[in-house]
Structure 1
Amino acid sequence: MHAPGPMQLLLIAIVLLVLFGRGKISSMMGEVGKGITAFKKGVKDGSDEIEQAASEAAKDVTPEKDKV
């Protein structure tokens, strides 16, 4: 399967504009942008949490029997 060419993309854009109108498409794209931003923030928070847990586990490497 191949990617659509520029003419096909233009035709799809025109059909979407006719069906939904400029205002509805604009608000949908805004929601998509908010969703992408929230997803990126969630991924970053998750990776920060994993790194923090790993760094806390790596701080103290003294064996239990040698601890005072």
Structure 2
Amino acid sequence: MGAFSWWHWLIVLVIVVLLFGGKGKISSIMGDFGKGLKSFKKNMKEEADAPAADADAKRIADDSASDEADSKKDTAAKS
């Protein structure tokens, strides 16, 4: 049977059936891999945006606190 014994050909046949047999196992594996990559990228983007959102929230809170202090000074000055 050539350079390989029948055990080698049997192993090759099993591998081929596992990879290409059935309902597109390679395409389903690659689809799952693509979904994983998309999920990873989405989470990395959300994580990168989170510190910027926290800084914006802190800035808004600081601005509103200074506005309240200014309005209290104006009220005290009018009295």
Interval containing the TM-score (normalised by the shorter chain): 0.5 to 0.7
Q: What is the aligned length?
A: 56
User: What's the TM-score once normalised by structure 1's chain length?
Assistant: 0.57
Higher helix proportion (structure 1 or 2): 2
**What is the rounded CA distance, in whole Å, between the counterparts of 2:24 and 2:37 in structure 1?**
20
5+ residue gaps, structure 2: 1-7, 68-79
- Over the matched positions of the two proteins, sequence identity in percent amounts to 12
- Greater relative CO (CA pairs within 8 A, separation 6+): 1
Instruction: Read off the aligned partner of 1:22 and give its amino acid letter.
Output: F
TM, length-normalised to structure 2: 0.50
Hey, what does 2:35 align to over in structure 1?
38
Structure whose alpha-carbon radius of gyration is higher: 2
Change (3 A) 1:22 1:62: closer
Structure 1 residue ranges, 4+ long, deviating more than 3 angstroms after superposition: 19-23, 61-66
Alignment partners' CA distance in 1, 2:19 and 2:34: 25
